[in-house]
A and B are shown apart, each in its own frame.
Chain A
């Protein structure tokens, strides 16, 4: 994989605080993906399968490993071997829109960050000629877009439209996904995963067992990780509305330990189930998520 020596100017386009100023989600996704792909000098439209398609002249930025040296020997010119793009793969995005996602201590909330990420990955996948679909859910699926090549616009509109609300639960949404997402494909889950790690991993692992590739993006706000509060106060659960008096200065350490343990447990259990797990900070640029997804796709492509 090429190194990601992105310049500060390009990096700024991946900063959530900057992206939050772009109203058009489609434009945002295009900006992110194009900027990211230029940064790693890789054309976003090339497939990675082994089925040869055609030759074309070498263009700066192309991977030199894909130059057909035999043709060079015959013609004294550089040609690139093009393969059939990875088409016909269904990519289903599972976007958590429960109330807990509507939280942000910085410029963007977790839901906004998840929105940016989902839109960018959908754009990226559509560029690979994948069929993209969407399941936005809280306790049930609230927005469903069936995977199809022409459904990128629908996915974008649905992602832009959804609002956070309700209590989060994975049972009914995953049952609905299982009933509708039948063809082998890729499932991308974006959530804060406030749930039992064992249940989550087994539920997503079930999809892995059905032949789907599954990647889980765990989005957390910096305040959820660091717990920077100082004043003793009543804390109210965004989903259940329960209130608890908390003395943060005394309890911060224990909280951070519990969060770290939960993250570690999720990573471990998802790994056991063959589910890729990526922890994301809502304040960090989208680069890491995109790299992780690209690596995931490369890995799944090779596996096929």
Chain B
């Protein structure tokens, strides 16, 4: 038995108060008012009478109440009984880390993970503490260091899978921060996941603290999801029709882990109506493209859906899109050499994009005001950054929302009066020494490269660059791709409402074999569509990203996002939109509507969110490799590192907190006081009677 705050025992001196009050109260009591003391003599009241305690029960109740109050504040605890045995081994800080990515929606995986987590929480020792972290692309700490399993069990009952991908490293980092704040000697992280290879990128910052035991709990077998079919590469190609814009929807079905060819059916539905169903055979370990017959795009914010019937993982069986009439971007290419070999491949790529609605014009002179008004995107194909009035016009074009793709060539001088216009330095021309340069880093999270994120969606590393411009990204600019020597290959910058991409590798055949690669054409298309967003909005976004509703409203002709509108989530519920910063986090897969609350216009603004296709690859991590990598910070991956001393230090407060004797003592004190009041009232009434 011990006391957490023994100093409060000084309060026991207060037990003398009721006795002193009794002995002194009569002298100091309120005098009785009487008309006259004419007939009253002073009669000494006998001391013995004053000292006599008439109601021992009352006194006992008062003393007991005071004693219980003092004991409650001293916060007693017991070290004996069943709790002592646990204290000997030392209490443990456990962090349950639960994967919420959509791959966990695979048959029974989520239920199994929750069940295992509940099981582990139920085995909590009397002095252990438990935390709960749920994660997909970002981790969330739902319960922090609770001495009871109840909050964890309650939180687990409310969780469900998300539409997002897996990122294990940030979750481990968060779990590590929880453990670092713990006073307990033993620490453990239990990670419940399907351990996809795509979800783990080793990160030194995510290493667990020293002495932490990492307990990976693999959900599902290694063969789980092997037969999964997934939709990938949704692509909408606009085709000019007889006065109307037509859209051809193309996609790909992959069977990455399948051991044999699969037959399946894919359905396209537009505005809730099934338009066409295509049957196709998907080769084992590969993918099969499919294209639907074009449909007429007559209305803004037309919603579509491509749906697969045979995939075992539900979220990647469907891809949504929202399309509006408006055609593709108008591209103005400024090439000093005019139409010729230097822009042969670029023209080819853009013209083959005629099906997507690209309209291309070549100019040899600096773009005029009229040309810029008609263009959504300007490509400087080896052309200089102009100065003077032409430079000002181009700057105003970009600032007003236009796109600029600067493919730096042999002679691409930057005008002195336009310094800072492009997000890079001018840089010198550099030839490769022995081996051609290759792209060593590509930011697949960026919309330009997002289409290449999935497995077998394009390989940039095969491109050989023999000559490049050695540029440096300016402050505020971002390198989206780098050569293998670390120098930037593609740099993005912003100017006003417009975007600028600077490509240091050239777009012609002279500097690289990039135009001969399969990724060239989709890269040019993606970059052109990314930059030429003036008057166009993307057909779909990736779930887990943030959409700019201002550009959506501009594309819809609404000008800006009006006050009071809300975003209606696909699964129900609404998210208020701030007109000052109209950004919307797309937390779920499906169609998001942006409209006034309580009203549903005929065709409200909408945008589509699709799952991260990288999550469809269910290939597993090598667990041993993972455990070693996660413990890279020096954490001992066993239950060692606990000393009896540590356990004892923590035991006092933990014993007290868990036992909570003070509550009972306080309740007892109030009970005593209530009894005292009742008894005193009864005695008082009896005396009067």
Contacts and interface: CB of A to CB of B under 8 A. Distances in A.
20 contacts: A101-B35, A103-B33, A192-B36, A230-B687, A233-B29, A234-B32, A235-B40, A236-B33, A238-B34, A243-B31, A244-B40, A244-B42, A245-B27, A245-B43, A246-B42, A247-B46, A251-B41, A251-B43, A254-B41, A258-B39
Nearest to B37: A237
B36 A237 contact: yes
A221 B39 contact: no
B49 interface: yes
A251 B36 contact: no
Interface in B475-527: none
A58 interface: no
A151 interface: no
B583 to A, nearest CB: 75
B601 interface: no
Contact of A224 (B33, B35, B41, B687): B35
A242 B43 contact: no
A235 B32 contact: yes
A255 B29 CA distance: 23
Contact of A236 (B34, B45, B46, B50): B34
A194 B43 CA distance: 21
Interface string B674-689: 0000000000000100
Interface in A232-287: 232-240, 242-247, 250-251, 254-255, 258-259, 262
A240 B35 CA distance: 10
A218 interface: no
A115 B34 CA distance: 20
Nearest to A251: B43
Given A244-B37, A246-B43, A247-B45, A233 B26 contact: yes
Query: Which secondary structure dominates where chain B touches chain A?
Result: loop
Contacts, number: 79
Contacts of B38: 194, 262
Given A194-B36, A242-B37, A235 B31 contact: yes
Contacts of A72: none
Contacts of B44: 245
Interface in A81-108: 99-101, 103
A121 B314 CA distance: 105
A232 B26 contact: yes
Nearest to A100: B35
B40 A255 contact: yes
Nearest to A194: B36
Interface string B49-64: 1100000000000000
Interface of A: 99-101, 103, 110, 192, 194, 221, 224, 229-230, 232-240, 242-247, 250-251, 254-255, 258-259, 262
Nearest to B39: A258
B686 to A, nearest CB: 12
Cβ-closest 3 pairs across A and B:
A100-B35, A234-B31, A258-B39
Nearest to A230: B687
Contacts of A221: 35
B58 to A, nearest CB: 16
A238 B42 contact: no
A254 B42 CA distance: 12
A235 B43 contact: no
Contact of B39 (A100, A232, A236, A255): A255
A259 B44 CA distance: 21
Interface in B1-52: 26-27, 29, 31-46, 49-50
A224 B39 CA distance: 10
A233 B42 contact: no
Contacts of A245: 27, 42-45
Contacts of A250: 43
Nearest to A255: B39
A232 B44 CA distance: 10
A237 B43 contact: no
Contacts of B35: 99-101, 103, 110, 192, 194, 221, 224, 237-239
A240 B45 CA distance: 22
Nearest to B26: A232
A232 B45 contact: yes
Nearest to A229: B32
Contacts of B37: 235, 237, 240, 242, 244
A237 B36 CA distance: 5
Contacts of A110: 35
B33 to A, nearest CB: 5
B29 to A, nearest CB: 6
A251 B49 CA distance: 15
Contacts of B36: 100, 192, 194, 237-239
B227 to A, nearest CB: 95
Nearest to B688: A230
B26 A251 contact: no
Contacts of A232: 26, 45, 49-50
| Most-contacted residue by chain B among A232, A240, A254 (CB, 10 A) | A232
Contacts of B27: 234, 245
B523 to A, nearest CB: 102
A259 B39 contact: yes
A231 to B, nearest CB: 8
Contacts of B31: 233-236, 243
Given A194-B35, A247-B46, 17 more contacts: A103-B34, A194-B36, A234-B27, A235-B31, A235-B33, A236-B31, A236-B32, A236-B33, A237-B36, A237-B37, A242-B37, A244-B42, A246-B42, A247-B49, A258-B39, A259-B39, A262-B39
| Most-contacted residue by chain A among B26, B36, B46, B687 (CB, 10 A) | B36
Contacts of A99: 35
| Most-contacted residue by chain A among B31, B46, B50 (CB, 10 A) | B31
A243 B32 CA distance: 9
Contacts of B33: 103, 235-236, 238
Contacts of B46: 247
Contacts of B49: 232, 247
A251 B39 CA distance: 10
A232 B29 CA distance: 10
Contacts of A194: 35-36, 38
Contacts of B41: 244, 251, 254
A234 B27 CA distance: 7
Contacts of A254: 41
Contacts of A100: 35-36
Interface in B639-689: 687
| Most-contacted residue by chain B among A100, A224, A233, A239 (CB, 10 A) | A233
Nearest to A223: B34
Nearest to B44: A245
A237 B39 CA distance: 11
B39 A246 contact: no
A251 B41 CA distance: 9
A99 B34 CA distance: 10
Contacts of B40: 235, 244, 246, 251, 255
A160 B171 CA distance: 87
B246 to A, nearest CB: 98
| Most-contacted residue by chain A among B33, B42, B687 (CB, 10 A) | B33
Contacts of A238: 33-36
Contacts of A247: 43, 45-46, 49
Contacts of B50: 232
B459 to A, nearest CB: 103
Contacts of A255: 39-40
A110 B31 CA distance: 20
| Most-contacted residue by chain A among B32, B34, B42 (CB, 10 A) | B34
Contacts of A242: 37
Contact of A237 (B29, B34, B42, B687): B34
Contacts of A236: 31-34
A235 B45 contact: no
Contacts of B43: 245-247, 250-251
Nearest to B35: A100
A287 B43 CA distance: 39
A247 B36 CA distance: 16
